[in-house]
Structure 1
Amino acid sequence: MCHDAGLRETYAGSWQGLTHTEIRERFPHEYDAFRRGEPVRRGGGELASEVADRAVPVVLTAFEKLPADGTLVVVSHGGTIRTMLGRLLGLDPALWEVLGGLSNCCWSVLGRGAHGWRLQEHNAGTLPEPVIGDES
Structure 2
Amino acid sequence: MAGLAGAPADGVAQYRRVVVWRHGQTSWNAAGRFQGQTDIELDEVGRAQAEASARLLAALSPGRVVASDLTRARDTGEALGRLAGLPVTVDLRLRETYAGRWQGLTFAQIDEQFPEEAAGWATGDVTVVPGGGECRLDVAARVCAAVEEHLRGLPENGLLVLATHGGAARVAIASLLGLPHDRWAVMSGLANCNWSMLEEMGPEKATRGLRWRLAAHNAGSLPEPVTVQEG
Fold equivalence (TM over 0.5): yes
Provide the residue aligned with 2:111 in structure 1. Answer: 24
In the TM superposition, what whole-angstrom CA distance separates every residue of 1:84-128 from its partner, at most 9, and x where no partner exists?
101110011221221101000110011011321000110001126
Residues 82 and 99 in structure 1, CA contact (< 8 A), matched pair in contact too: yes
Per the TM alignment, residue 69 of structure 1 is displaced from its structure 2 partner at its CA by 2.3
Measure, in 2, the Cα distance between the counterparts of 1:41 and 1:17: 16
Per the TM alignment, residue 131 of structure 1 is displaced from its structure 2 partner at its CA by 5.0
Letter in 1 for 2:118: Y
Please tell me whether residue 127 in structure 1 is matched to residue 222 in structure 2: yes
Measure, in 2, the Cα distance between the counterparts of 1:32 and 1:46: 16
| 1:118 aligned counterpart, secondary structure | strand
Measure, in 2, the Cα distance between the counterparts of 1:51 and 1:125: 24
Alignment equivalent of 1:15, drawn from 94, 98, 102: 102
Letter in 1 for 2:124: G
Please tell me whether residue 93 in structure 1 is matched to residue 181 in structure 2: yes
In the TM superposition, what whole-angstrom CA distance separates every residue of 1:7-48 from its partner, at most 9, and x where no partner exists?
000000100111011101111111112122222100111110
| 1:75 aligned counterpart, secondary structure | strand
Provide the residue aligned with 2:170 in structure 1. Answer: 82
Provide the residue aligned with 1:105 in structure 2. Answer: 193
Change in CA separation of 1:25 and 1:82 when aligned onto 2, cut-off 3 Å: same
How many residues align structurally?
A: 133
The structure showing larger relative contact order (alpha-carbon pairs under 8 Å, at least 6 residues apart) is 2
Measure, in 2, the Cα distance between the counterparts of 1:56 and 1:132: 32
Unaligned residue ranges in structure 1 (runs of 5+): none
Superposition TM-score, scaled by structure 2 size = 0.55
| 1:109 aligned counterpart, secondary structure | strand
Provide the residue aligned with 2:11 in structure 1. Answer: none
Change in CA separation of 1:21 and 1:94 when aligned onto 2, cut-off 3 Å: same
| 2:217 aligned counterpart, secondary structure | strand
Provide the residue aligned with 1:37 in structure 2. Answer: 124
Measure, in 1, the Cα distance between the counterparts of 2:107 and 2:186: 20
Letter in 2 for 1:50: D
